[in-house]
Every structure is written in structure tokens, then in C-alpha cells.
Structure 1
């Protein structure tokens, strides 16, 4: 990844910043904003996509308007951290739609989850029926978010 970043110039970084906030921007508008014509801008976009820097485009949804305003961060400690146990947990966590993010952590616990639900009762159900039932889960600790100050990559 470091070598790919070294190959990006200021125009590539400008394209990435703009796309991170407006993935539906027209190429002509993108070109105008970075100070290039359309063809070289399209070539840069293709190079960023083909090089795996841009991995896709998606709609950003408002979780509050979708009734998913409750956010909890969950520390998960496993009873077994051998590779097979980690892989079993990794595979199983993908099937829990309420888990928005899952990170393996180098800490006193093994995973940190970002879980989004409608309210505390829904969270309690997800924790009890889904997360705690995942392979090798020994214990969990929940931290409820009061406010999102910053979310997203850029």
C-alpha cells in the first residue's frame, strides 16, 4: 500500500477527496474542480480504480432516518485465539447485519465491533442472541455512543 500511495500526486489526492464526499460527481465537474480536462481526469479515475485505490462507489445512508440511531461499541474477548477460532469468528460475524464494523484489536480484548440498532432493547437482543452466540465468544463489554463527532474516512 505504501508504494501505491507514493505514486499518487496532488491531483490524484484531490480526486479522492472530492469522490469521498461526492461519489456521484460528473466527470466534467470533477475535471473542472481539479483543473484538468475531461479525458485526463477519466484516465486518472480508471488508473485509480484499476490500481485498487478506488474499490467501488456506494450510497451513504442516514442510519437515523432508517431507524438505526443506537450505536454501541462492543469489546469481544474470545475463549480461543488460535487461527481456526479466529477464522470461525470472522466468518460468523459477517452474517450479523447489525454489526457495521468489526476490527481485530491488539489489546486486552480481541475484537471491537460497531453495532447499530434501533434502540437499547434491540441492541440487548442482538447482543444476547447473535453476538454472544458467535463462535468462541467468552465475554463482551459494551460502550454506548452518545454522539458521533466524526464518521467516515475523509
Structure 2
């Protein structure tokens, strides 16, 4: 675990709200000079508290109106089949997240598509043809009340 003080936490909260802020603007928010803020940010990157900054796009506004969660059970569960599946599924651009889970399924995928026919195409031509896929269960997202936010 990484040792963080109140100032580090304030910096992380501010970045979680707006990752485009520079060291000067962040420093003003938390009461530090720009150089002191920059040193803290560099340390937070070095110790792994900040892995990367990321742009969040609105899928619906870009024409991707359907989100489907897939539960995938592999036919064989050897180390090779897991690696082959992960490598192949990660190459599909419509698959937004790949989660190896414990429970009813081996993997949980978040897939976006323009509409249901587009999702069907992705499912039939790309996902069902992946190495090791045994069974797939789909849940269509109706609404999302809260997206993952800052820790």
C-alpha cells in the first residue's frame, strides 16, 4: 500500500475530477506551489498511485447506443486457453473491458455496439469465434445510474 498524506489525497481528488489540470492549477486548489505540486505528482506516478490519465468519451453521443455485459464460460480452463482467450478478446475494439472473474462465468465483458443488429454481428463473428469460448450469457444495459468514480 502507498503512504499518502492529506495533500496527496487532495491532489488525487482534484485530478479525478479533471485530469487536464496542470501542476499550477492543481497547486492553487490544494495550496501548494507549482514546483511542489509537480514533485508530488511525479512521486505519485513513480510509486504507482497514478497509472495514467484517460479521456472519457460519451459512447451514446458517438453513435454507440447499446451496451451489453457478457458472461463468458470457457470450454477448457487451462493456462494456455486463458491466455489465448484474453489475447484474442482484447483485440476486439467493441469490447471495452475484460474481467477475469470468480463465480458463474470465467470472464465478464463490457461490449458496446451501435444497435442490436451491430451487437449481433460482433457476437456472432468475433466473440463466438474466439478460442475456447464455451457458453455466453448476455445482459443488455438499460440505464446506468452511477459510473465508477474516484476512489
Instruction: State TM-score, norm by structure 2.
Output: 0.94
When the two structures are aligned, how many residues end up with a matched partner? Answer: 150
Secondary structure (helix, strand or coil) at the match of 2:12 reads helix
Q: CA deviation at 1:11?
A: 1.3
Cα distance in 1 for residues equivalent to 2:113 and 2:16: 25
Alignment partner of 1:23: what SS? Answer: coil
- Name whichever of 13-22 and 116-125 sits farther off: 13-22
SS at structure 1 position matched to 2:52: coil
* CA positional deviation for 1:153: 3.4
The ranges of structure 1 where at least 4 consecutive aligned residues each deviate by more than 3 angstroms after the TM superposition are none
Provide structure 1 residue ranges, at least 5 long, that are not aligned to the other structure.
none
CA drift at 1:139: 0.7
* Structure 1 residues 35-82: Cα deviation after superposition (integer angstroms, max 9, x where no partner): 212121111000011222212222221111111121000000000111
Q: Counterparts of 1:104 and 1:62 in 2: how far apart (Å)?
A: 25
Query: What is the 5 A alignment of 1:13-52?
Result: 13-52=9-48
* Residues 71, 105 of structure 2: 8 Å contact kept: yes
8 Å contact from structure 2 (residues 69, 108) kept in 1? yes
1:113 maps to what in 2?
Answer: 109
What is the alpha-carbon distance in structure 2 between the residues aligned to residue 35 and residue 69 of structure 1?
42
1:1-154 equivalences in 2 (<5 Å): 3-4=1-2, 7-154=3-150
Between the aligned partners of 2:6 and 2:77, the Cα distance in structure 1 is 42
Q: Distance in 1 between matches of 2:136 and 2:6?
A: 43
Q: Distance in 2 between matches of 1:116 and 1:17?
A: 28
Supply the RMSD in Å over aligned alpha carbons: 1.1
Shift of 1:152: 3.1
